[in-house]
């Protein structure tokens, strides 16, 4: 069958000559497509004598497979060539040093979050997360803050709008990281040791308050955890974080609906010559709120308060960043002023660790 050989020659040549995928596709259509030449020949088989049909059919099938294989091989070759071309054109010398003027920096909030995470990880705390748009149940009710409780106003909460006619209580922008206590305990049960850093929101704005700021929540629940453990953990944290040999903490009785007893914690410091020094001096600076988790909070999270107990604390990340790095105005944290970011930012390549050093 000369015709078969002619077709083979014609299409194999066309496949080889196809310079791109589109050209290849038109070759495929011309040969193997529904209206293609080979399909047309296949259609004539029906009119042949049985013997001739068998022979011709077999030859046509072989030809079809050959062309198909050639098409595939060419397609792969074209793709390889295209990739080679891209690799040639789009290269980047990763061994070149960065250009200092363009080098970004790590924001103090990110840096301090990494430092805090490293320190607590070293003490066996995992990181937990929760949403910033939170239901009022997680933000308030589960934390023993009932609807009529004054803390709901105290918090200056941002409420999310509901669709018209939807009477369910509105979601809120979480006013603290404490709802993550509930989520973490409901998810993992007890015993549990977590911290939860993240953004929180309150309607407030002056030199030390912004409507969005950052907290880190701490939670440790086990069979016999006490205030003594809380005190040790916080002292250990402060010594490591502020990179001083000795710190002194003062626990002041306080009130939070979700802890009993509750304490606010101050750190000893001095303001000599307008310079803040942590660890010595006659002044005290409040750094966090804490206490023993209220039994009602444990119950709300599905943890049996007759078997489990523990402490929780909430600390302002921006605040301890200001204290450690001498940054005077909180509002500047969130203005994205490049000069500020270059001045207070940290090298992107230094990862804070407890053993290797937190900050350089
Ligand atoms: N959620 C409290 C606040 O935002 C802080 C806190 C957390 C207090 C955990 C006690 C225990 O002020």
Q: Tens digit of pLDDT for each residue in 196-235?
A: 999 999 998 887 789 999 999 999 999 999 999 999 999 9
Atom of ligand 1 nearest to the CA of 181: 9
Torsion of CA 15, 16, 22, 28, to 10 degrees: 10
- Residues found in the chain: 360
179/252 same-domain check: yes
123/12 same-domain check: no
227-242 and 108-122 are packed helices; what angle lies between their axes, rounded to 10 degrees?
A: 130
358, part of any domain:
no
12, part of any domain:
yes
For residue 195, the model assigns a pLDDT of 98
Whose C-alpha lies nearest to ligand 1, atom 7? Answer: 314
96, part of any domain:
no
pTM of the model as a whole? 0.72
Whose C-alpha lies nearest to ligand 1, atom 12? Answer: 289
228/82 same-domain check: no
312 CB under 6 A from ligand 1? yes
- Neighbouring CB atoms inside 10 A of 166's CB total 9
Distance of CA 249 to the CA centre of its chain: 33
Q: Which of 99, 139, 352 is nearest to 240 (CA)?
A: 352
Residue after which a domain boundary falls, among 37, 58, 89:
89
178 CB under 6 A from ligand 1? yes
Instruction: State the distance from the centre of ligand 1 to the C-alpha of 236, rounded, in angstroms.
Output: 19
Ligand 1 mutation pick, 258, 287, 288, 315, max ligand atoms within 8 A of CB = 258
For residue 360, the model assigns a pLDDT of 64
173/209 same-domain check: yes
Distance of CA 87 to the CA centre of its chain: 31
Instruction: State the distance from the centre of ligand 1 to the C-alpha of 313, rounded, in angstroms.
Output: 6
For residue 127, the model assigns a pLDDT of 98
354, part of any domain:
no
Instruction: State the distance from the centre of ligand 1 to the C-alpha of 256, rounded, in angstroms.
Output: 7
For residue 335, the model assigns a pLDDT of 94
For residue 70, the model assigns a pLDDT of 93
324, part of any domain:
yes
289 CB under 6 A from ligand 1? yes
Atom of ligand 1 nearest to the CA of 288: 5
Strands (E) in the chain, as ranges, are: 126-127, 133-134, 172-173, 192-201, 212-222, 249-256, 259-270, 277-278, 283-293, 309-316
314 CB under 6 A from ligand 1? yes
Whose C-alpha lies nearest to ligand 1, atom 5? Answer: 314
Number of domains into which the chain is organized: 2
99, part of any domain:
no
225/266 same-domain check: yes
143/277 same-domain check: yes
291 CB under 6 A from ligand 1? yes
For residue 292, the model assigns a pLDDT of 98
259 CB under 6 A from ligand 1? yes
83/165 same-domain check: no
Atom of ligand 1 nearest to the CA of 215: 4
198 CB under 6 A from ligand 1? no
Ligand 1 mutation pick, 175, 287, 289, max ligand atoms within 8 A of CB = 289
Domain that holds residue 241: 110-347
User: What stretches in the chain show pLDDT beneath 50?
Assistant: none
CATH number, domain containing residue 244: 3.30.930.10
152/239 same-domain check: yes
For residue 55, the model assigns a pLDDT of 87
Ligand 1 mutation pick, 178, 179, 259, max ligand atoms within 8 A of CB = 178
Residue after which a domain boundary falls, among 57, 89, 121:
89
CB 38 within 8 A of CB 14: no
Rounded to 5 degrees, φ, ψ at 276 are: -80, 130
75/120 same-domain check: no
315-359 pLDDT, tens per residue? Answer: 999 999 998 998 888 899 999 999 999 999 998 877 888 887 787
273, part of any domain:
yes
3-state per-residue secondary structure call for 39-63: HHHHHHHHHCCHHHHHHHHHHHHHH
For residue 1, the model assigns a pLDDT of 55
191/118 same-domain check: yes
79/131 same-domain check: no
40/118 same-domain check: no
């Amino acid at each position: 069958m000369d015709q078969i050989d002619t077709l083979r020659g014609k299409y194999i040549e066309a496949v080889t000559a196809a310079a791109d995928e589109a050209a290849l596709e038109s070759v495929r259509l011309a040969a193997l497509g529904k209206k293609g030449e080979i399909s047309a020949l296949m259609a004539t088989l029906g009119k042949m004598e049985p013997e001739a049909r068998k022979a011709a059919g077999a030859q046509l099938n072989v030809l079809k497979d050959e062309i198909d294989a050639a098409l595939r091989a060419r397609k792969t070759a074209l793709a390889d060539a295209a990739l080679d071309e891209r690799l040639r054109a789009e290269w980047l010398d990763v061994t070149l040093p960065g250009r200092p003027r363009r080098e970004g920096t790590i924001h103090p909030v990110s840096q301090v979050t990494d430092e805090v995470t490293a320190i607590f990880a070293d003490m066996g705390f995992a990181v937990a997360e929760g949403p910033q748009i939170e239901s009022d149940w997680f933000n308030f009710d589960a934390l023993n803050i009932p609807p009529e409780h004054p803390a709901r106003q105290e918090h200056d909460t941002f409420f999310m709008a509901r669709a018209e006619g939807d009477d369910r209580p509105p979601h809120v922008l979480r006013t603290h990281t404490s709802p993550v206590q509930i989520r973490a305990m409901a998810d993992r049960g007890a015993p549990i040791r977590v911290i939860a850093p993240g953004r929180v929101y309150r309607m407030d704005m002056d030199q030390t308050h912004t409507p969005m700021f950052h907290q880190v929540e701490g939670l440790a629940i086990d069979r016999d955890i006490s205030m003594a453990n809380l005190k040790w953990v916080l002292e250990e944290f402060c010594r490591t974080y502020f990179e001083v040999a000795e710190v002194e903490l003062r626990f002041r009785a306080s009130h939070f609906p979700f802890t009993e007893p509750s304490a606010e914690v101050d750190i000893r410091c001095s303001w000599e010559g307008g310079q803040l020094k942590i660890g010595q001096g006659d002044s005290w600076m409040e750094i966090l709120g804490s206490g023993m988790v209220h039994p009602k909070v444990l119950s709300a999270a599905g943890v049996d308060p007759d078997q489990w107990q523990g402490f929780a604390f909430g600390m302002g990340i921006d605040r301890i960043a200001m204290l450690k790095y001498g940054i005077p105005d909180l509002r500047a944290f969130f203005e994205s002023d490049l000069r500020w970011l270059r001045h207070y930012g940290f090298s992107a390549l230094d990862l804070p660790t407890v053993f290797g050093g937190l900050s350089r």
